[in-house]
Structure 1
Amino acid sequence: MSTQDKDLSIKIRRSALGRARGLGSAKSGSAHWWAERMTAAALLPLSLYFVVSVIILLGADQAHMAAYMAEPWNSALFLALIAIMFYHLSMGLQVVIEDYVPDEAKRLITLLVIKGVIIFLALASAVSVLKLAFS
């Protein structure tokens, strides 16, 4: 029996579980998928709120903008938009990196850098909203 025949024989005898081993967990993917869908659904009304706010504040000076953001409702919705948007971004980029970066070390470094940048940008955005809300 040639080595090619042996390899074929081994492939045929392996179970579906054996072939799937090492390809990731079948349990964690559905939670990630649902989280992406829920954040996307939450971003729809929050994005519309953001667009309406921008239209309302078009041409406004800093004092008017600060007064608008001082309203608890407005600042809370902006903070929710920031948190959900950056979380959604993080999950989406994680999937892309896990799918298209084959080397495990590069994938881990890329994920850490991307997540660090996302956290920094989310915090900077939240600080900006809070500065306006409390000025």
Structure 2
Amino acid sequence: MIRFALFGVVLVTAMALAEDESSVSTAPPDTETSIQSRSGMTVHIDPKTGEITGYQAPDPRRLPSERLERTLSRSAAGLQAVTLPDGTVYVDLQGRFGHLQTARVDQSGALEMRCVETIRELVSFVDHLGVRPVAAEDQP
């Protein structure tokens, strides 16, 4: 039974990695619009003001909620079961029914990990950090 559970974990992980890799374009970049990295100085430009600024890390309170909502969705709406010739039933979950492994450092400095299934669980787990998912329409 443990072998099947481990196989399931490996299979789900491989499928998730394949989905991420399939979304990456393998086409060569457009030479006119692509930015080539060379030795020297890297300049960061504020997209709002156009001013040259120092590097600013992304705001940790802004989670990519659209992807999280899709991954943690438990909705079966629109999913279709396909019966294969050998009788196996196949359902493409379209990125839904996932789990999210999260970690935080507690007040004693120990690492605490948890697997969450909903946005609500995620928010309650990381609440002490002041992290809140942001709706997709609120993101820049």
Q: Bigger radius of gyration, 1 or 2?
A: 1
Structure with larger RCO (C-alpha < 8 A, sep 6+): 1
Q: What is the TM-score of this pair, normalised by structure 2?
A: 0.28
Q: What is the TM-score of this pair, normalised by structure 1?
A: 0.29
* More strand per residue: 2
